[in-house]
A and B are shown apart, each in its own frame.
Chain A
């Protein structure tokens, strides 16, 4: 029983990182209706900025995190303006390909700037691990802080979208861009704001990911990014609570399958979840089917 709990909690730890990353995916998809595959690599950039700030420049952790958020926000808005905006009217496949291109660009740029040597990241989380049942069950401080952050971000986002004017504007843009413009909403600015928030979230995700798994290379964000995309689809892409549930569920599933089925097949199982979800219930757990009246 205790071993199951232990696997469960490490799955929760993994899942909480996926959940925060999935929040960014889902938000951008829900509002701008595009899958930003470069999200995983913005996470990596956030990790590197924090690394440089805290270790090379010696700033305290909160300052490093704020710097990472600022840098990623700037990066996200720039990418949106340069790479995605010109393709707003185009085929959605073109935007997808561009996103993958941006992802490769970020990875190789980081490779050029920082080299391929893995950088060792000191955790920014000061919470000590929780030891239960006479040291049989150990929950790390990073897990607790990631889950707490996830919940705070989720409630913050939901409140923002339902209560503030900008949030309502985002909802309007997601429903109908044309009508939103007619209503006087600046669509460009709204979409830029969406990306800005998504990228700021990516920075936080990056810091927490690197605190939990302390090596940083230019490809650190790629695999978690893809798995978080699967998590977002599982939970219902476009739905914010869905991202949280999908992320946690996927992390637990990955860890339990590593433990009880086979560590070789765990990645295969995670990605087959994507296929199964798309076949059986494409809207995901919390997604809603939207009927369009013709």
Chain B
């Protein structure tokens, strides 16, 4: 009996190992047969596959950064609907498919492979830095064009086929210091960052490097790691003693909400400044948003702005999804329109392979000029893939974002 059970278990293990392998022959034979049929349908009937631009999307729909994934997904969907309603790109419609990467590099590669199986030609993703770096490495081999709406780490745009809509971390760190310096917001700055996260460390390093040029004094520089992100009382106590006037938080909103709560319990009085990772802080469950009054953050998108484009976007987003959009949704929306402009400039059609489309986009993205986007005016790209636009900041007043000059 025991031998029989062991044999069955061994067989089950062998089958599951074969099924787990990415390109193993046994269960893939049925998949291959299905793929063959799909390809036959492809070449035979362009009205099925190959008749629409397949743009994939990726981001965290679950986990502590879920606000961002949902935002980029929904921004992409709104843009796709508008593009299709207006006649598509070069007359062809756009299809989108969004996958969850849980803000994890390994899961991002899995999501990327799922999208490839779906037939993705261009990737508008990932949403956060670490997954974008992982996926970018794969996309270089596959020659698929990647436009990340919100991944900010500097090395993301190293490959020639990866571009980004938003500012990079070094730019954010430097621009934050410039902003605080030129507006004379405070002189004594304390910084706390997540040393286990590439996004946070990147902004921190550049902020600290730029601060002396702006006449800012860094009175305290503390850190924490992703494993111990619950107790900040020691760091906050140090800030209190050092007499910090402003605390710079180049971190994500869920950790920031904990820091703000603990700071008020400890009686720390300082103003707060964050970067795009701070976006979403007003949506944290059970967080007392009055603690975030006066918090400033660098974000190119202001939901209360007066221009037509923003107002229409906010309206259709809120009507469809019931919440107001954050800058990540705006980044994703702008990204779709940037891709549209470049594809139209290069006369791309959906029956081209992903590699051909990639080559067209690499050539034309640096040539497009979006005069008026949600996240900037006269937005252009450098050939290295970085965006060119001016930074803007908002302050939280009465529980809402308000643009400041």
Contact = CB atoms under 8 A, between A and B. Distances in A.
Interface of A: 3, 6-7, 10, 13-14, 115-120, 122, 129, 135, 138, 140, 213-215, 217, 220, 223, 255, 258-259, 263-264, 266-267
B266 A217 contact: no
Contacts of A217: 64
Interface of B: 62-64, 66, 102, 195, 222-225, 227-228, 230-231, 233-235, 237-238, 241, 254, 258, 261, 265-267, 284-287
Contacts of B228: 223, 266-267
A86 B64 CA distance: 39
Nearest to B286: A120
B195 A264 contact: yes
Nearest to A120: B286
A255 B234 contact: yes
B223 A264 contact: yes
Given A116-B64, A117-B63, A267-B227, A258 B235 contact: yes
A3 B239 CA distance: 11
A263 B235 contact: yes
A258 B232 CA distance: 10
30 contacts: A3-B241, A6-B237, A7-B234, A7-B237, A10-B237, A13-B233, A115-B62, A116-B62, A116-B64, A117-B62, A117-B64, A117-B66, A118-B64, A118-B254, A120-B285, A120-B287, A138-B265, A138-B266, A213-B231, A215-B254, A215-B258, A220-B230, A223-B227, A223-B228, A255-B233, A258-B235, A259-B237, A259-B238, A266-B228, A267-B227
Given A115-B62, A116-B102, A135-B267, A267 B225 contact: yes
Contact of B267 (A3, A14, A138, A215): A138
A119 B224 CA distance: 20
A183 B125 CA distance: 68
A116 B63 contact: yes
Contacts of A220: 230
B234 A119 contact: no
Contact of B222 (A215, A263, A267): A263
A9 to B, nearest CB: 9
- The 6 A-B pairs with the shortest beta carbon distances in the complex, nearest first, are A120-B286, A213-B230, A116-B63, A10-B233, A258-B234, A263-B222
Nearest to B225: A267
Given A116-B62, A120-B284, A120-B285, A10 B223 contact: no
Contact of A263 (B66, B234, B265): B234
A259 B225 CA distance: 15
B286 A122 contact: yes
A3 B240 CA distance: 10
Task: Kindly name the residue among A14, A118, A138, A214 whose own CB sees the greatest number of chain B CB atoms within 10 A.
Answer: A118
B231 A14 contact: yes
Contacts of A266: 228
Given A10-B233, A213-B258, A215-B230, 11 more contacts: A13-B233, A117-B63, A117-B64, A118-B64, A119-B285, A120-B287, A122-B286, A138-B266, A140-B265, A217-B64, A267-B228
Contacts of B254: 118, 215
Contacts of A117: 62-64, 66
Nearest to A11: B234
A119 B287 CA distance: 11
Contacts of A115: 62-63
Contacts of B284: 120
Contacts of B265: 129, 138, 140
Contacts of B286: 120, 122, 214
A129 B234 CA distance: 17
B63 A10 contact: no
Nearest to B234: A258
A258 B239 CA distance: 13
Nearest to B104: A116
Task: Kindly name the residue among B62, B63, B224, B228 whose own CB sees the greatest number of chain A CB atoms within 10 A.
Answer: B228
Contacts of B225: 267
A3 B63 contact: no
Nearest to B229: A215
A54 to B, nearest CB: 12
Contacts of A119: 285
Contacts of B238: 259
A129 B267 CA distance: 12
Contacts of A122: 286
Contacts of B233: 10, 13, 255
Nearest to B258: A215
B261 to A, nearest CB: 8
B397 to A, nearest CB: 24
Nearest to B63: A116
A223 B228 CA distance: 7
A13 B237 CA distance: 15
Nearest to B227: A223
Given A117-B63, A255-B234, A263 B287 contact: no
Contacts of A264: 195, 223
Contacts of B237: 3, 6-7, 10, 259
A116 B231 CA distance: 20
A125 B237 CA distance: 23
Contacts of B227: 223, 267
Contacts of A14: 231
A263 B195 CA distance: 10
Contacts of B258: 213-215
